[in-house]
Amino acid sequence: MKKDIELPEVTNVYMAIVKEYNDEFKCEDWNAYIINNKEVDLEMVLIVSKGYDEDTLTETAVLRHKIEKLPAQSFAKVELLQEDVLKLSNFFNVTFFEGSKMFDKKYLFEKGTIKEGNLRTVAMLNKRGILVK
C-alpha cells in the first residue's frame, strides 16, 4: 500500500526565518515564513512545526498551521519563534496540493543556525533571514 503512494519532489517552495521589527511591540522578532516561488497556486497547505534538541532531550509542543491557498509568487507568515526556541533544531513539515497532486517536504533549521551572523537577504521577502530550500 505504501509503495503505491507517489510523492513528487518539491521544488520552488521554501521556508525562511527572518528577523524583523515589530511596530506594535517595538522590538525585534524572529518569524517563520513559507515562500511559494512557483508559477502556480498551492492549495490546502499544512505546516507542522517543532523544535528539539537530541542532546538534552528537549522539545517544544507541536504546532499546526493551515493556509487554504498560497498564490503563485507569494509568501505567508507562519509563526513567531520565541528566543528560547532559537537554540534548538527547528523543523517544518510542509504538505500541500498542486493541482490534484500532493507534495510533502521537511525543512530543517539545524541547532545553532538561527542567529544574527547567518542572516542573508531573502529576495522574495526583501528581508534579512535564513532560507532553507
Q: What is the pTM of this model?
A: 0.93
What confidence score (pLDDT) does residue 6 get?
Answer: 73
List, in sequence order, every residue forming a beta bridge with 70; answer none if it has no partner: 42
Q: Where are the domains of the chain?
A: 10-132
We find that the CATH architecture of domain 10-132 is: Sandwich (2.60)
Q: Give the number of other CB atoms < 10 A from CB of residue 97.
A: 15
- Cell numbers for 119: 542572516
Q: Percent of the chain at pLDDT above 90?
A: 92
For residues 98-107, average pLDDT: 95
- 7-61 residue pLDDT tens: 789 999 999 999 999 999 899 999 999 999 999 999 999 999 999 999 999 999 9
What confidence score (pLDDT) does residue 2 get?
Answer: 62
